[in-house]
Structure 1
């Protein structure tokens, strides 16, 4: 036999209505007393539960056709309870919407926003009920509570209707440059909207890249609380799984355009990376402050360089600066080249991608190896065989493994250098 709860007991106690209005009012007072401590753990859940109990009890009592004096008291209780529920729902919709926008996966994000929609509906239903009882009571206090409930319901609905579905294309050097590759790719492959913060240091360059890629129609005015970039790798993976060759063709056409690389770019590459006929491998270097645990381990880089040379290939060091004792004697040093004027102008993003293409087409570049740095993503999406190193399985980038052609993940487990050695032999062949 199920034990009878306190509210169930109240609902079945004295069907003639004697004292039920008083009990409902007492329950409401207990809920109201919690309002000053709603920020404490678990209190808001208790508060919501009590309000729900008040509504159930008072509504049941009112349906018992009580005398007018008792009915008026119950109506006053219900105005307050429904008003409080509407305002609480507005708060809940705001809080949940923030979490939904930051959800790690697109599915989690959509599920969160569905729940926000439900909460907004709860606010609207509560506001309508408060308005109905306020009309019956026809007092200034009741009308004030009903108006507050209406304002709360409209605010909750506004959270839903003003959801920012755009993703931010970061145009500030303090953010990951490489994230732009997969945001533009997601826009091309799945039509996601893009926004750029006005006044960002590289706003002109970002817009130039997007316009050149044919994404003018994807740009939206900048607003706060954009969608999380965590979703983008999943969106891209789905497009590649559906049609790998087609997805790659789409990105290459948009990112590289129809015009050949400029004469100045070809001259720069010939001067810095030419003269060595051997096949080459990019070795990426990351030394950023953000998430420093992902940075390049230089002892590992030494071993990688030896593996590349032993395989009969030439390492090209690319990315952040090398320590002085690691400056290669049998390799090509292109570290920090992205800071040169050639790669910082209005067409900086296309110029960097054309650099990788020229290295592949005219200077024997066969693949790239590095830690999980987004700078590798542009070349990877356009077809450069890629092997990225990680301490453990990467939830986000792991979605590309098996979807983006030539994209491999290597976890630093015993024997992982053998995997790299075998991959280098495959690339050489």
Structure 2
């Protein structure tokens, strides 16, 4: 085919691509559009490189300029879409892989904008320059998607969010340096900042921005540090979370009032009754059986967390459910006070370990060394990364004989 025929083919391909622009929201159409744009660019570039008759050059340059501009704008759109999905990726590896592909797409936009600029220079018309400017804007906006990526994780400071997720984020910041942001004017913003500053994380705080990194990554980040050196990781967290000062007298008095009269060995039984992921909530029949198992092992159950029906609480048990709502645990140092409570129970009141469903509230004390057994209907992908990494962290799947596993664990805790 002669150059004139190839130029006409390029024009036909461009017209077919342009005809799709009003349908790009339909399934599969955008992929077809991108393929046609690529065909136009490849064909037009080859024809120009091989030489065409002079009258055909401006037409082919104009077709190519339009195709490059459309390609730059489409790449900007694709980079934006993929960046949002990458930020929500379930694993850190998937997130990073997604952002690498965003970078590649942005490079496509920049290459298209560069080609458009050269074609506009050759055509030397206001109309051509206007198109090239559009391509340049698209490329710059695409690059901004990459450079403005929000790498910070949000430390939620509203009661509606999981309180325990804060343990994950603070731990990941201490062990791996991840950045943290807090939404301004959140209900517990003051308490969250106080905890992070007391933990030595002032340099990890960033201004709040939309589209933060996914908290789903945090358990994996923490597991990596523990697998590298569990003892060092635990020391780091204990030092940061507990601080150097002794617990306040008010906390010591509160513990003595609620727990001090029972010298026996104890086990925390966590209660969860939240609105989020209700299938993970505590089953009270199971909780009653757990309490009986603890008592039969010669131990005292301490109920902690959300409200528990009184018929589930044996006479020998200690009921601390909802204590976290008391002023002592809602003040500026609420997070450290709660961790100091667990630490005091462990060091001075015979606390051996904790059992509960997959509630993140357990994981602060777990990371500091309190033996932990969590119950789950099926293996937990996120928390399972800690099993074998965080010392004393154990997953028990509700399958035949799982109460026997718990019984054995209670015996081991007493050794």
Contact preservation (8 Å) 1:313, 1:428: no
Give the deviation of 1:17 after TM superposition: 1.1
Cα separation, 2, equivalents of 1:386 and 1:327: 21
Counterpart for residue 129 of structure 1: 115
Q: Which runs of 4+ in 1 moved over 6 A?
A: none
Cα separation, 2, equivalents of 1:254 and 1:263: 20
Give the deviation of 1:324 after TM superposition: 4.0
Counterpart for residue 356 of structure 1: 342
Counterpart for residue 216 of structure 2: 230
Cα separation, 2, equivalents of 1:318 and 1:373: 11
Counterpart for residue 6 of structure 1: none
Give the deviation of 1:64 after TM superposition: 2.4
Give the deviation of 1:353 after TM superposition: 0.2
Pairing 1:176–2:155 present = no
Counterpart for residue 80 of structure 2: 94
Counterpart for residue 69 of structure 1: 55
Report 1:301-320 matches (<5 A). Answer: 301-320=287-306
Cα separation, 2, equivalents of 1:53 and 1:328: 75
Cα separation, 2, equivalents of 1:324 and 1:230: 35
Give the deviation of 1:329 after TM superposition: 2.0
Counterpart for residue 79 of structure 1: 65
Cα separation, 2, equivalents of 1:155 and 1:275: 66
What is the aligned counterpart of 1:285 among 264, 271, 274?
271
Counterpart for residue 229 of structure 2: 243
List runs of 5+ in structure 2 lacking aligned partners.
none
- C-alpha RMSD of the superposition: 0.9
Normalization by structure 1: what TM-score?
A: 0.95
Cα separation, 2, equivalents of 1:391 and 1:46: 44
Pairing 1:27–2:27 present = no
Give the deviation of 1:35 after TM superposition: 1.0
Normalization by structure 2: what TM-score?
A: 0.99
Give the deviation of 1:36 after TM superposition: 1.1
Cα separation, 2, equivalents of 1:118 and 1:18: 34
Cα separation, 2, equivalents of 1:353 and 1:117: 42
Contact preservation (8 Å) 2:369, 2:392: yes
Give the deviation of 1:392 after TM superposition: 0.9
Cα separation, 2, equivalents of 1:258 and 1:419: 37
Counterpart for residue 53 of structure 1: 39
Pairing 1:254–2:240 present = yes
Cα separation, 2, equivalents of 1:195 and 1:130: 40
Pairing 1:196–2:182 present = yes
Contact preservation (8 Å) 2:291, 2:313: no
Give the deviation of 1:140 after TM superposition: 2.1
Pairing 1:275–2:267 present = no
